[in-house]
Amino acid sequence: MLEKRDFYIGGEWTAPAAGSDFEVIDPSTEDAFAVISLGGQADTDRAVAAARDAFPGWMETPPADRIAVLERLYDVYKSRMDEMAAVISREMGAPIDMAKAQQAPAGLGHIKNFIRAARDFAFERPLGPHAPDDRILMEPVGVCGLITPWNWPMNQVTLKVIAAMAAGCTMVLKPSEIAPLSSALFAEMVDAAGFPPGVFNLVNGDGPGVGTQLSAHPDVDMISFTGSTRAGIAISKTAADTLKRVHLELGGKGANLVFADADEKAVKRGTLHCFNNTGQSCNAPTRMLVEASAYEQAVETARAVAEKMAVGPADAEGRHMGPVVSQAQFDKVQDLIQKGIDEGARLVAGGPGRPEGFNRGWFVRPTVFADVTNDMTIAREEIFGPVLSIMPFETEEEAIAIANDTPYGLTNYVQSADAARRNRVARRLRSGMVEMNGQPRGAGSPFGGMKASGNGREGGVWGIEDFLEVKAVSGWGGA
């Protein structure tokens, strides 16, 4: 059992003033391996006060000096990458090789990209030649409450924290209580990098506790939240009383449009993408729409991929799928798989229950459904597990209609050799992101969605802008 972790407030590690203990569970074994404290109102108030006290100084720190501290943080993070990967793997179940290759490096990559974006960012800019004495000043929002989930811990922590730091904001981070140890390690890195006390604060807690306290707090100027659409709605309602800015990165139900002229690896690539991180990604391509002439072959390919997918504990080396994060997540995925069967989808691979050989740990069978219709529950709800739904389409118009027939609008995917078709379809898909033919978005590309997938954008200049206010000044004197 790891030792209990304290909070990081005002540049110091400090014991909680109140709250209860919470066990952190290893998803591969169902055993507790660490204990944290869940903070109370007094802890939240202390952290917000520390951030409020630090804000004027950090706001007035020249951008070049803020960047210099971020560069030190980059070096510290890089030196502890293997340690970060090991912590993430154990707390949320990512296979260790995947944690080393994807989970931990995501944080390092975002630090690097925000440093690059901040170097070229114009915090002061002219309005235009028609108004030579007008200036636009981009100023930090203020104290930010950052609430992050468990599925990609450092990806989401760094997307918020580093952007807020670069913008000149101070902050209180509440990571998921399910996977909190990576954020504690990140706080150690922030401390080692030498940020002024109070710029970054960490308080553990759950959503109804610290999460709600931050959302309602009168001295918090902005909430940035990544998580479920249900929780995002609740946060928005709580924050409304204090008129704070709310940035939401919520769920998704991505459609992967596979046309008959797609490359031969498109279906395999899409299936593996759906199963990556055990399906626990908001931008996973969980609905595969296949042109009718290629449909049965696509179903067969997806079945073969799922049946060959190895499942194993997070600490095992090699390429395999780990467990889902918790008992609650396991139960949700099992219920939705059964609902797919009950509503008439054709079960092609996987199904209810644990994979063969497992009677412990929250392991799910890689599951593929065919003949899914867009009114079925498995096509409407975000499952957040390794479940792929395949459905046919006859025409481009029908494919677009099916893809857009969802409350969500995060990421869609297009597979076709026809460049004109790809571009045409991409323009008509109602989502914040579209990826085509397996090409990922470039470094610093904005991440975010529309509709029930949230608002705002993270990453690159867009991520920094989300933490800034726009001030218009006339009569500007001098250069």
| Residues facing 144 on adjacent strands | 171, 222
Would you call 144 a catalytic residue per the annotation? Answer: no
Decide if 399 contacts 257 (C-beta within 8 A): yes
Nearest alpha carbon to residue 34 among 104, 92, 91: 91
Q: Which of the residues 169, 274, 282, 458 is marked catalytic?
A: 282
Strand order in the sheet with 135-140: 124-126, 135-140, 468-473
| Residues facing 391 on adjacent strands | 289
* Angle at 154 (CA atoms; ends 470, 409), nearest 5 degrees: 60
Q: Are strands 12-14 and 7-9 parallel, antiparallel or unpaired?
A: antiparallel
Nearest alpha carbon to residue 174 among 201, 138, 142, 143: 201
Q: Which of the residues 91, 249, 435, 458 is marked catalytic?
A: 249
| Distant-in-sequence, close-in-space partners of 241: CB < 8 Å, separation ≥ 6 | 216
Q: Are strands 387-393 and 367-370 parallel, antiparallel or unpaired?
A: parallel
Would you call 249 a catalytic residue per the annotation? Answer: yes
Decide if 173 contacts 190 (C-beta within 8 A): no
Report the alpha-carbon distance of residue 398 to residue 417 in Å, rounded.
19
Nearest alpha carbon to residue 115 among 463, 466, 469, 471: 463
Nearest alpha carbon to residue 111 among 155, 141, 80, 144: 155
Report the alpha-carbon distance of residue 100 to residue 76 in Å, rounded.
16
Report the alpha-carbon distance of residue 59 to residue 61 in Å, rounded.
6
Which letter does DSSP use for residue 355 in this model?
P
Rounded (10°) CA dihedral 253, 160, 10, 241: -60
Tally Cβ neighbours within 10 Å of residue 471: 11
Decide if 445 contacts 459 (C-beta within 8 A): yes
- Per DSSP, the three-state class of 444 is coil
Residue type, 453: S
CA–CA distances in Å: residue 353 to residues 316, 323, 361, 364? 21, 12, 12, 7
Report the alpha-carbon distance of residue 396 to residue 326 in Å, rounded.
39
Residues taking part in catalysis: 249, 282
